[in-house]
Structure 1
Amino acid sequence: MKRRDTFRLAAAAAMFLSGTLLASPGLAQDKKWTIGFSQATTIEPWRAQFNKDIIAEAAKHPEVTLIITDGEDKTEKQVADVENLIRQEVDALLVSPKESAGLTGVVQQAIDAKIPVFVLDRNVDTDQYTQFVGGDNKLIGRAAGEYAVELLGGAGNAKGNVVEIWGGMGTQPAHDRHDGFHEFTDKESGIKNLLNEQSGDWKQDQAYNIMANALRNNEEIDLVYGHNDPMAYGAYLAAKDAGREKDIKFIGIDALPAEGVTWVKNGELTATFLYATPGAEGLRQAIDFLNGKKVEKAITLPTERVTAENAEKILKEKGM
């Protein structure tokens, strides 16, 4: 593995040394673990926060050396990263797939090598892993759909034209967020969906282009549902550039303080729903397992709706 693709973190150290964080010999303990974490990408703000959270948690555990790899938003790169971690014979593997199907085979290789595997955020097409940690994307989609119906007139009376901007089509969270949302909106005969599975690949610029095109083709748009906050915000910017942002409600998912929550406070998004990063909890669970504790098959992280009513309070709690 190239040195720039990996940084080793000993939780006792607090600074990078040539891209590697090394364990302090003075903090040696009886049991030491090397844990690998395969991240799908670091270019998305939510993923960057994900990494910060897992690094902060690792700093609390001097017995752990954490190796983090960056899949660079490419399935083939992430597969190679996991293969490399397997060859290094890590004590446990944490993996957050770019694509569920694309990472299933290499995750199975780790399982076959008797490495406990903790799948974070996006699942894989096998249930032989040790544990899954992440939010319930279908539940979050339902919460967004229920709120969309409320914004458009309430159950039984909701009316309006909706633009939905998908995340990656090959990811289970995108499908779950779509399915949960439509459990509520599809019951309303007055709600019309204007687009057919338009993917912004979780990226703001791609969502901007999708929304710009939707604005050109539709005189009336009442609500935008982005599968994450950057896409919802990209849609907002497109509407603002067209002078139509005040006529449209914008809903996103993630609720990072510096992004979604701030955009809600500023009146740019109508609402966002918390999708907590699973890095810290995933690492805690892996350490517990390595220390002989029993872990649950799945841990679901809670969500929260963020609107103008509570956005400022949340920011203050985060020190912002």
Structure 2
Amino acid sequence: MNRNRRLITGALLSAPFAGLMIKAGYVHAQGKKYRFGFSQVTTVEPWRVQFNKDMKAEAARHPNVDLVIADANDRTDKQNADMENFIAQKMDVIFISPKESAGLTGVVEKAFKAGIPVFVLDREVNGDQYTQFVGGDNVLIGKGVGEFIVKTQGGAGKAKGNIVEVWGGFGTQASHDRHDGMMSFVGKESGLKIVGQRVDCDWKQDKAYDYMKTVLRVNPQVDLVFAHNDPMAYGAYLAAKDAGVEKKIKFVGADGLPNEGAVWVEKGILTATFVYPTPGGEALRQALKMLGGEKIPKKVIMPTQGIFADNAKQFVAS
């Protein structure tokens, strides 16, 4: 089976305990009402909208869970304040999807050391002072992209072309992981060249549009664009379309949302994208397992899969 289309799963390990569980200074009894706080970096990006939707849907399945979501408005200082508020409220569990790793490490450690289970979602923090990380494997997604680029640009040892990489955020590990994974394949091909300067487009479609316009002025010959998420890939596509060169370029993204990336692949706007599943629902299930007395792993890696023209329809929302 083509590696890009293979479902890659992470193990979900659990071991039952009985009745009560003593963890970090708290005794949790089954059937208790719980207050969960979730610090979300932003609610504007489509992937984050789906993230919240999936988490709320899972919480709705558990009448004993009260889920409170705080929107950090894409600001590290606001997210730190939201976390401090959750600590002060003595939430039973805190979830956080950090804007950046270093800037949120301290407050995550503070919550954890205060005896509150902390689940880090999507983007990791530094160190290991948290209960569990739940998210996708961004290096693996990058490797899938890199393998796809080499294959579509001529194959190993023969691949040629100019590639534009549209970065998400320099302060987020996800961008660096996706870059590193991609370069583990592309970097071996002397015929493949990364053109354009490295610019932080902050995961935003409009910033990717502006960046791509600038790149095309300097480098009119572009063969493929890899953007760290689908909205930026779409922004790059729109810039190329305005320049009249979109049909000459392949566009590859990541996220694969049913109403976004998958649709764009089906319509031929993007050549490919890779599913980056939202971790909220799984994290909430993991938290309830822990509170119910089960041992949970330090990390849960969500599955990914490539979306291409021949399989996009099955990923599109009905």
**Structure-2 residue corresponding to 1:313:** 314
Sequence identity, in percent? 61
- Does 1:92 pair with 2:93? yes
User: Do the aligned partners of 1:233 and 1:269 also contact (CA within 8 Å) in 2?
Assistant: yes
Structure 1 position 140, deviation (Å): 0.4
**Structure-2 residue corresponding to 1:72:** 73
Equivalences for 1:160-179 in 2 at 5 Å?
A: 160-179=161-180
Equivalences for 1:121-160 in 2 at 5 Å?
A: 121-160=122-161
Letter of the aligned partner of 1:95 in structure 2? I
Letter of the aligned partner of 1:259 in structure 2? E
- CA shift digits 1:189-234 (9 cap, x unpaired): 0001102322211000000000000111112100000000000000
Structure 1 position 75, deviation (Å): 0.4
- Does 1:103 pair with 2:104? yes
**Structure-2 residue corresponding to 1:54:** 55
* Counterpart-to-counterpart distance in 2, 1:283 and 1:163: 37
User: Do the aligned partners of 2:166 and 2:201 also contact (CA within 8 Å) in 1?
Assistant: yes
SS of the residue corresponding to residue 253 of structure 1 reads coil
Letter of the aligned partner of 1:84 in structure 2? N
**Structure-2 residue corresponding to 1:63:** 64
**Structure-2 residue corresponding to 1:182:** 183
* Counterpart-to-counterpart distance in 2, 1:99 and 1:38: 13
| TM-score under structure 1 length normalisation | 0.89
Which ranges of structure 1 fall in alignment gaps of 5 or more residues?
1-28
**Structure-2 residue corresponding to 1:266:** 267
Structure 1 position 248, deviation (Å): 0.3
SS of the residue corresponding to residue 54 of structure 2 reads helix
User: Do the aligned partners of 2:41 and 2:98 also contact (CA within 8 Å) in 1?
Assistant: yes
* Counterpart-to-counterpart distance in 1, 2:274 and 2:128: 28
**Structure-1 residue corresponding to 2:120:** 119
Structure 1 position 126, deviation (Å): 1.7
**Structure-2 residue corresponding to 1:16:** none
* Counterpart-to-counterpart distance in 2, 1:290 and 1:35: 12
- CA shift digits 1:129-177 (9 cap, x unpaired): 1110000000000000100111111111000000000001100000000
Equivalences for 1:35-46 in 2 at 5 Å?
A: 35-46=36-47
**Structure-2 residue corresponding to 1:275:** 276
- Does 1:199 pair with 2:200? yes
User: Do the aligned partners of 2:108 and 2:129 also contact (CA within 8 Å) in 1?
Assistant: no
* Counterpart-to-counterpart distance in 2, 1:313 and 1:279: 23
* Counterpart-to-counterpart distance in 2, 1:186 and 1:113: 45
* Counterpart-to-counterpart distance in 1, 2:196 and 2:124: 27
**Structure-2 residue corresponding to 1:292:** 293
Question: What root-mean-square deviation, in Å, do the aligned CA atoms of Structure 1 and Structure 2 show?
Answer: 0.9
**Structure-1 residue corresponding to 2:212:** 211
- CA shift digits 1:12-67 (9 cap, x unpaired): xxxxxxxxxxxxxxxxx841111111100001000010000000000000011111
User: Do the aligned partners of 2:163 and 2:193 also contact (CA within 8 Å) in 1?
Assistant: yes
**Structure-1 residue corresponding to 2:27:** none
SS of the residue corresponding to residue 135 of structure 2 reads strand
Letter of the aligned partner of 1:159 in structure 2? K
* Counterpart-to-counterpart distance in 2, 1:197 and 1:172: 15
Structure 1 position 91, deviation (Å): 0.6
* Counterpart-to-counterpart distance in 2, 1:165 and 1:37: 29
Letter of the aligned partner of 1:177 in structure 2? R
State the 4+ residue runs in structure 1 displaced beyond 6 angstroms.
none
Letter of the aligned partner of 2:180 in structure 1? D
User: Do the aligned partners of 1:120 and 1:282 also contact (CA within 8 Å) in 2?
Assistant: yes
- CA shift digits 1:100-148 (9 cap, x unpaired): 1110010011011010111000000121211100000000000001001
Letter of the aligned partner of 1:292 in structure 2? G
Letter of the aligned partner of 1:273 in structure 2? F
**Structure-2 residue corresponding to 1:257:** 258
**Structure-2 residue corresponding to 1:11:** none
User: Do the aligned partners of 1:164 and 1:198 also contact (CA within 8 Å) in 2?
Assistant: no
| TM-score under structure 2 length normalisation | 0.90
* Counterpart-to-counterpart distance in 2, 1:92 and 1:314: 32
